């Protein structure tokens, strides 16, 4: 039975929109998964049926991102926030330093956690400019013997996104890609470790994907708790303990949906078109709307902007909610407006919001 309720224009920053076709398939399979007489949530994670789901999701991610066999794919828990601690615990050894590129709140949090475990420094920062941009690749400062270099590929709060990534040579490059993984093609080979919470482009909340080079795994600290070792999960195919089985099932179905749409090239073109609707409304508004991010650093995932006055902004957000647009308020830490146009947000939703912006400006100029 298909869902009969009307769908919201869901611009939530996370958990965020999921593809309708994936939700419908999950609904159809919820009670009886593949003739087992059980929901996928009821299957043993040691069963052959679930193992097929698990491995299919891994293989789909490998295929879509062209991940070489020199990498392990892990399904963990604790969100990106736990990765902020796991990374330095595993790879920040005594006598080494780790560089963090500061581009927003999440890189700040990652840096703060890493400080608890060792010597860290700012490889670059755009904080003085209120995080409106991304540092130039050739402005990053780090040494060849550093433990690693960490960056956040997309900044959900400030609406900025890396367009090019550094070639860090022998220094392991680590990226938090929670909010733009799977939104465009990337060269995985540039990175030693990529991590991402699933709840924006990959699936529901509760799953964290880690893509890690096997040679980096071999360099990890060993005197840390078993569950916080990447090697523990790599050796056990992410089945050392009970994984979030339903979330992994949903992640696999989202990956199938991306493949059916044409893969990452098609998704990237679609995301550019969606973002263009909103950015065009901002750029043609004669400063009625003011975008936060510098134009060459604008995110395709999180479009952030303000209106001329706080009163006008409040009216805009109230009317947007009345029109059925959900999640348009900016992050509580900075306010303003934010449209999160992740993969599963339909093109029609961004077009409709652009038309609303233009209409609101016409009536309130």
Q: Which residues are identified as catalytic?
A: 106, 176, 200
**Please, where are the H alpha helices in the chain?**
20-29, 48-65, 79-91, 105-115, 214-217, 230-235, 245-261, 263-283, 310-322, 347-364
Cα 260 from Cα 291, distance rounded (Å): 33
Laid out side by side, the sheet with 302-307 consists of 289-291, 302-307, 337-340
- Helix and strand numbers (H, E) in the chain are 10, 14
Token pair listed for 356: 């609303």
Cα 312 from Cα 190, distance rounded (Å): 44
Token pair listed for 57: 């999701």
Nearest CA among 266, 182, 261, 196 for reference residue 22: 261
Cα 118 from Cα 26, distance rounded (Å): 44
- 245: helix, strand or coil: helix
Cα 320 from Cα 289, distance rounded (Å): 15
Q: Which residues are registered as beta bridge partners of 196? A: 209
Cα 192 from Cα 246, distance rounded (Å): 28
| Contact (Cβ atoms closer than 8 angstroms) between residue 209 and residue 73 | yes
| Contact (Cβ atoms closer than 8 angstroms) between residue 329 and residue 306 | no
Neighbours of 255 (CB within 10 A): 24
Does residue 15 have a cis peptide bond before it, meaning omega lies within 30 degrees of 0?
A: yes
């Amino acid at each position: 039975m298909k869902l009969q309720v009307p769908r919201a224009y869901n611009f939530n920053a996370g958990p965020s929109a999921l593809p309708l076709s994936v939700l419908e398939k999950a609904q159809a399979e919820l009670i009886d998964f593949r003739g087992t007489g059980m929901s996928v949530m009821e299957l043993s994670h040691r069963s052959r049926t679930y193992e097929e789901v698990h491995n299919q999701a891994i293989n789909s991610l490998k295929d879509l991102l062209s991940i070489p066999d020199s990498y392990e794919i892990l399904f963990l828990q604790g969100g990106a926030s736990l990765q902020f601690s796991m990374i330095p615990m595993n790879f920040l050894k005594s006598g080494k330093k780790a560089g963090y590129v500061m581009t927003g709140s999440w890189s700040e949090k990652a840096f703060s956690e890493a400080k608890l475990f060792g010597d860290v420094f700012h490889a670059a920062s755009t904080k003085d400019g209120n995080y409106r941009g991304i540092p130039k690749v050739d402005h990053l400062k780090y040494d060849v013997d550093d433990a690693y270099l960490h960056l956040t590929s997309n900044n959900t709060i400030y609406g900025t996104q890396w367009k090019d990534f550094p070639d860090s040579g022998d220094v392991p490059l680590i990226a938090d890609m929670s909010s733009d993984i799977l939104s465009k093609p990337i060269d995985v080979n540039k990175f030693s470790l990529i991590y991402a919470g699933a709840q924006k482009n990959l699936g529901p909340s509760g799953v964290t994907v880690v893509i890690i080079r096997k040679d980096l795994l071999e360099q990890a600290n060993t005197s840390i708790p078993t569950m916080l070792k990447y090697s523990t999960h790599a050796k056990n195919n992410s089945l050392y303990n009970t994984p979030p089985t339903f979330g992994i099932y949903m992640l696999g179905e989202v990956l199938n949906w991306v493949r059916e749409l044409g893969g990452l090239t098609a998704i990237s073109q679609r995301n550019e078109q969606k973002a263009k609707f909103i950015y065009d409304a901002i750029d043609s508004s004669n400063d009625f709307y003011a975008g936060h991010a510098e134009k060459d650093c604008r995110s395709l995932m999180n479009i952030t902007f303000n209106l001329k006055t706080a009163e006008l902004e409040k009216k805009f957000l109230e009317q947007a909610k009345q029109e059925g647009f959900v999640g348009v308020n900016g992050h509580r830490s900075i306010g303003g407006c934010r449209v999160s146009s992740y993969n599963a947000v339909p093109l029609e939703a961004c077009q409709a919001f652009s038309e609303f912006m233009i209409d609101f400006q016409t009536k309130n100029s």
